[in-house]
A and B are shown apart, each in its own frame.
Chain A
Amino acid sequence: MKAEVIASGHQFMSGGGEMGALTRAMDWSKTAVGDPEHWPQSLRTILNIVLNSRFPMFLWWGPELTCFYNDAYRPSLGQNGKHPYILGQRAEEAWSEIWHVIKPLIDRVMTSGEATYSEDQLIPIYRNGSIEDVYWTFSYSPVYDDAGTVSGVLVVCSETTDKVLAVTSLKGKEQELTRNLEIQASEQSQQIKRSGEELTKRDELYQMMIGEVQDYAILFISREGIVQNWNKGAEKIKGYTAEEIIGQSFSKFYTPEDKARHLPDQLLVEALTTGRAGQEGWRVKKDGSWFWASVVITAIHDQDNNVVGFSKVTRDLTEKKAAEERIKEHAEQLEEKNRELEKMNAELKSFAYVSSHDLQEPLRKIQTFASLIMEKEREALSERGKDYFRRMQDAANRMQTLIEDLLAYSRTNSSQRVFNTVDLGEMLSEVIIDFKDTITTKNATVEVGPMVELTVIKFQFRQLLHNLLGNALKFSKPGVPPYIKINSEIQAGDGSDAMPEAGEQYCHLSIQDNGIGFDPQYKDRIFEVFQRLHGKDEYKGTGIGLAIVRRIVENHNGTITATGEIDKGATFDIYIPVVI
């Protein structure tokens, strides 16, 4: 580089990088400024400053405004633009496309000697193969020659295209943003307006809804218990109009007793501390009458969770209460009846005891002494006396049977229920032996079919067989020898009334006779206590036998049915679930 400087011999053109080299290499003699040898000192000085500055600078000099510029300015000329040919060119040629813009500025500086300053000015230039919009911040300042005349214009500039574009873009964005915000704000305000309207509408609806409710008194009361509003239900239930009650204490609805024990205050305190208070009790209407109220008081909170008052919902449950009391009364009556029945039951049991002991004693005496008289004093009686005596003995014997049957019936209830597995065949044989005299007398046939084993209360089941066989023998047709068929078999449950549980096993015991039968309309009645279908003169009996049978069947969770017709015999079918 030093060699170059030496070569050119112009100290003021030293340095300056590429533009310095180009400036030095330029044949200035062909330009308006002429050979550098003759350049004035002021040009030399300013050119030296321009070439060596790192700030973009451009210089027009002389009557033709010959162009000089430095390395820092070069990028502003772009690729394939004015660089490097405008060096040493006349301004009017070099900047033809913007000459109309810059010429006035140059002229002003040249004539007035005052500098210009423009910020972010759009000055499109030809570069990069086309005219580009380029923004500049620049100052045109006068450069005086040695004679003190303005001979050049120094342009100190910086390209601010990027900045301007960035700002523009920012501005655009800002505007967009503002626009959006405005739209949003407008939308929101509309929405708020709408929801405000909705709120008002909802509030009105809500008010109307509460106001119209007739079955509940719904009111708002202040923290102090003062009634603030009043709905139709309140008017209907309590009798006051809104005008009469708003502004008064809700304790007005309470009975004097409840007021005396501070119930209204207690309920408010409870609602205040727990959020809710519920109570049922008597309340007073405007006309002084009472109604049974179910009351719920709920604390109402503001946004800061302070209690601002209470909602109070009251229902008139007077009728429900009355109904409940009727039910309660009925229940009490039932309980009373139950107690009476239990007492009667206990009395009946004690009657069974009395009949088993005390009642039998005198009867046994009557019978025993009667038997003694008939045995030892028979001869002392007339025939009529003997007849009376026999009738008396018959009556006493009937009474004995009655007492024994009653005892048996009461025992089916009270005695211990011990279940044992028995052979029904064996049990039946014993029972047949009990009746051997009758069987002989009546010339009866008892045909015993297959007999199974069954788990039963032994003495009760023996009684059952005894009563059924006794019945079949007793109700035989006059002059027809009784024919009695007894069968038993195990059957599977089929969902019928008699054998309801499918999968369970049942013992079906049947006793069929050829006796007098019965009118089918009495098929249920014959199992009731003291129900007799025949007069005592025709057939002896107490009317307890079949009642005992049914009770025994029930004790074994079984069923019994009777089928028959008058003069065509009767069949008793018993089904007992098999207990394993």
Chain B
Amino acid sequence: MNRFDLLLADDDEDDRALFADALAELDIPVSLTTVPDGEQLMQFLGHSDKLPGAVFLDLNMPRKNGVECLTEIRENEKLKQLKVIIFSTSFDRDVISQLYNKGAQNYIRKPYNFDKLKKVLRNALDPLLEAREVPGTIEHFVIEP
């Protein structure tokens, strides 16, 4: 595996741009594909032959929201193993534990600062790149910058 394929589903154009900028500055071998909503995400996943290394999933999206996408992915035989990292502004404990129970890999609260965005992306990606096993417990679920 030369390059690590990442997929980002987010309806906010600014966030997609910031995510790409931060990723570029991290200087890690990844390629990023972005889609503007959950429906296009599921179409993309359905048509691609090769699954991405991880999907960053916003929650509030038009047409099909993040929770619906996660549910479909976990119910789909082909997509079941896909790593899904939630990437959202909200920080509601009830929502977080619901997503943990639905089988998301991690939860990232969108930072208020570019530097923190880079940090949090690194913290999320490093274990994946190194193929390092992280404990799948609720304590490690939320990734902080």
Q: Hey, which bits of chain A sit against chain B, CB under 8 A? A: 356-357, 360-361, 363-365, 367-369, 371-372, 375, 397, 400, 411, 415-416, 459
Contact at B12–A361, with CB atoms within 8 Å? yes
In residues 1-38 of chain B, which contact A (Cβ within 8 Å)?
12, 14, 18
**C-alpha spacing A411/B96, complex, angstroms:** 14
B residues 91-141 near A (Cβ < 8 Å) are 92-94, 110-115, 117
Other CB < 8 Å A-B pairs besides A368-B18, A371-B115, A372-B114, 19 of them? A356-B89, A356-B92, A360-B89, A361-B12, A361-B89, A363-B112, A364-B89, A364-B110, A364-B112, A365-B14, A367-B112, A368-B112, A369-B114, A375-B114, A375-B115, A400-B112, A411-B92, A415-B93, A416-B94
- Given A361-B12, A415-B94, do A368 and B89 touch, yes or no (CB 8 Å)? no
Chain A residues positioned under 8 Å from B117 (CB to CB): 368
CB distance from A362 to the nearest CB of B (A): 9
A459 to B60, CA, bound (A): 25
Q: A368-B18, A416-B94 are in contact. Are A357 and B113 (CB under 8 A)?
A: no
Q: Is B81 an interface residue (CB 8 A)?
A: no
Give the docked Cα–Cα distance between A416 and B93 (Å).
10
Which of chain A's residues have a CB closer than 8 A to the CB of B90?
356-357, 360
Q: Rank and list the top 8 A-B pairs by shortest CB-CB distance, nearest first.
A: A367-B112, A371-B113, A372-B114, A371-B114, A360-B89, A364-B112, A368-B114, A356-B90
Q: Which of B90, B110, B111, B113 has the most CB of A within 10 A?
A: B113
Is B111 a contact of A368 with CB atoms below 8 Å? yes
Residues of A within 8 A of B111 (CB): 364, 368
In the complex, what distance in Å separates the CA atom of A279 from the CA atom of B114? 80
What secondary structure prevails in chain B residues at the interface with A? loop
On whether the beta carbons of A357 and B89 are closer than 8 Å, the reply is yes
Report Cα–Cα, A485/B14, bound state, in Å. 47
Q: Which residue of A lies closest to B111 (CB)?
A: A368
Q: How far is the CA of A368 from the CA of B93 in the complex (A)?
A: 24
CA separation between A357 and B113, bound complex, in Å?
Answer: 17
Can you list 25 A-B contacts (CB < 8 A)?
A: A356-B89, A356-B90, A357-B60, A357-B89, A357-B90, A360-B89, A361-B12, A363-B112, A364-B89, A364-B111, A364-B112, A365-B14, A367-B112, A367-B113, A368-B18, A368-B111, A368-B112, A368-B114, A371-B112, A371-B113, A371-B115, A397-B112, A415-B93, A415-B94, A459-B93
Task: Name the residue of chain B whose CB is nearest to the CB of A416.
Answer: B94
Residues in A whose Cβ lies below 8 Å from that of B114: 368-369, 371-372, 375
A361 to B59, CA, bound (A): 13
CB distance from A105 to the nearest CB of B (A): 142
Taken together as a complex, chains A and B put the C-alpha atoms of A132 and B12 apart, in Å, by 151
A78 to B105, CA, bound (A): 146
In whole angstroms, what is the CA distance A365 to B12 when docked? 10
B12: which A residues are within 8 A, CB to CB? 361
When C-beta atoms are compared, the residue in chain B nearest to A397 turns out to be B112
A68 to chain B, nearest CB (A): 146
Task: Report A-chain residues with C-beta under 8 Å of the C-beta of B93.
Answer: 415, 459
| B27 → chain A closest CB, angstroms | 16
Which residues of the partner chain A approach B94 to less than 8 Å between Cβ atoms?
415-416
Closest to B116 in A: A371
Whether A368 contacts B60 in the complex (CB less than 8 A), given A356-B92, A357-B90, A415-B93, comes out as no
How far apart are the CA atoms of A368 and B112 in the complex, in Å?
5
- Which residues of chain B are near A400, meaning CB under 8 Å? 112
Bound form: Cα–Cα A539–B92 in Å: 28
Bound complex: CA A357 to CA B89 (Å):
7
Tell me, in angstroms, the Cα distance from A372 to B115 when the chains sit together.
Answer: 8
Q: Which residues of B contact A372 (CB under 8 A)?
A: 114
Q: Chain A nearest CB: distance from B82 CB in Å?
A: 26
* A406 CB to nearest chain B CB (Å): 13
B21 to chain A, nearest CB (A): 8
In the complex, chain A residues whose CB is within 8 Å of the CB of B60: 357
Q: How far is the CA of A363 from the CA of B111 in the complex (A)?
A: 11
Give CA–CA (A367, B60) in the complex, Å: 20
Contacts of A415 in B (CB 8 A): 93-94
What residues of chain B lie closer than 8 Å to A363, measured between beta carbons?
112
Provide the residues of chain B in CB contact with A371, threshold 8 Å.
112-115
Q: For the complex, what is the distance from the CA of A369 to the CA of B22, rounded to whole Å? A: 12
- Shortest Cβ gap from A459 to chain B (Å): 6
Collect the chain B residues with CB atoms within 8 Å of residue A368's CB.
18, 111-114, 117
| B57 to A: closest C-beta gap in Å | 16
Write the nearest CB–CB distance from B101 to chain A, whole angstroms: 14
**C-alpha gap A287/B94 in the complex (Å):** 71
